[in-house]
Amino acid sequence: MRSVVVDPEVPPRTADLFRRHASMLSRIRAGWTPEPSPPNSRLTGRFLNAGGGVAALFLVCLMFLADVGQLLFFMLSLLVFVVFVGLLAAREPAEPETVEQELYREARWYEGRYLLPAEDFDYAAGQLLDRTQQAIDYILRSRVNAAGMLDGVRNSVMLPTQEWEIARLLNKLSSLRNEHQEFVYGGSTPEVAAAMAPLERALAASEAAVLARVEALERYASHVADAERALRAHDQIEALRARLPRYEELLAESGADAFAVPEIGRLTEDADQLEQALRDSVRSAHEAFRHLDLSSSPAADPDSPGESSQEPPAR
């Protein structure tokens, strides 16, 4: 299941919000707006009560106090009362923002910084996006990555960047392919067809370049899978080695140790071989990572070669 692709420069909380509400993002893009929040009824009531109390006290002052000094004193007291009520009102918590309102606000602010799987990619691009996300998800969720056997810091930074760059290129490819197909569907003369041939070759070359990046990710994921299998087998052998003393004790007590000890000794050899295989697998994964890092530099963009990702707006 494809997920929303978000620019890595978007804050993590907002990116997670986008990924959890893809259908609502689609509605927002189509023009839907959430209902505004109702006014804070408790805050309004407090202001009304305070205003009524101030008006009543002021009338009492006018009716029963003739002395100007006393009247000024009561006026100052009323002013202090109003300030006190204002401070209490300022501490009153505002009505919480709904998920729809927060999503709408963030989607408007980060417009163009996320891509929707159901709308921004044609079928061929969607298949490549699937492969990209599956490879990245497997690498980041692997035990060898969690155990620090891979370059976890670079994985957490570089792989989301790879996903965004690949998705951005696939989105442009989808848009240009759709325009090209609509143009061809309307019919064209041989002269126009000849003029369009270089554009078709440009699309094919760009798609091949993006495919190469996806395949590099899949090769890296394949090396990580090898390391995962080696780590799993290594753990199982180590668990068996921990039981060796009990087996050796049983063999010694039964007098059969002369026959079976050589067989059990092979367990140690197997563990050593698996440990070497694990080291080799992790080393291969590191080499695949370096190759991926280098091969990702010259990104082929069908629209504007060398174009970098959009800078975040000043907020």
The predicted pLDDT at position 272 comes to: 67
The predicted pLDDT at position 144 comes to: 84
Q: What is the DSSP letter of 54?
A: H
**309 within 8 A of 10, measured Cβ to Cβ:** no
Residue among 282, 288, 289 at smallest CA distance from 158: 289
CA–CA distances in Å: residue 92 to residues 83, 99, 273, 314: 14, 21, 67, 31
Per 3-state DSSP, the chain is made up of helix, strand and coil in percentages (nearest 5) of 75, 0, 25
Per run of 10 residues, the mean pLDDT along the chain (length 315 residues) is 89 94 91 74 53 57 57 63 59 68 93 92 94 93 84 82 94 90 69 76 91 90 86 78 73 63 58 68 71 56 44 44
State if pTM tops 0.75: no
The predicted pLDDT at position 160 comes to: 92
The predicted pLDDT at position 181 comes to: 79
Kindly report the number of other CB atoms within 10 A of residue 1's CB atom: 6
Q: Report how far residue 124's alpha carbon sits from residue 179's, in angstroms, rounded to the nearest whole number.
A: 15
The predicted pLDDT at position 20 comes to: 93
The predicted pLDDT at position 76 comes to: 66
**315 within 8 A of 108, measured Cβ to Cβ:** no
Contacts 24+ apart (CB under 8 A), 85-92: 85/46, 85/47, 85/50, 88/46, 89/43, 89/46, 89/47, 89/50, 92/40, 92/42, 92/43, 92/46
Kindly report the number of other CB atoms within 10 A of residue 235's CB atom: 13
In degrees, to the nearest 5, what angle opens at C-alpha 188 toward C-alphas 187 and 189?
A: 140
CA–CA distances in Å: residue 127 to residues 16, 45, 167, 216, 264: 23, 57, 11, 16, 49
Residue among 271, 300, 292, 52 at smallest CA distance from 60: 52
The predicted pLDDT at position 6 comes to: 95
Q: Report how far residue 162's alpha carbon sits from residue 160's, in angstroms, rounded to the nearest whole number.
A: 5
Lookup: tokens for 64:
């029963």
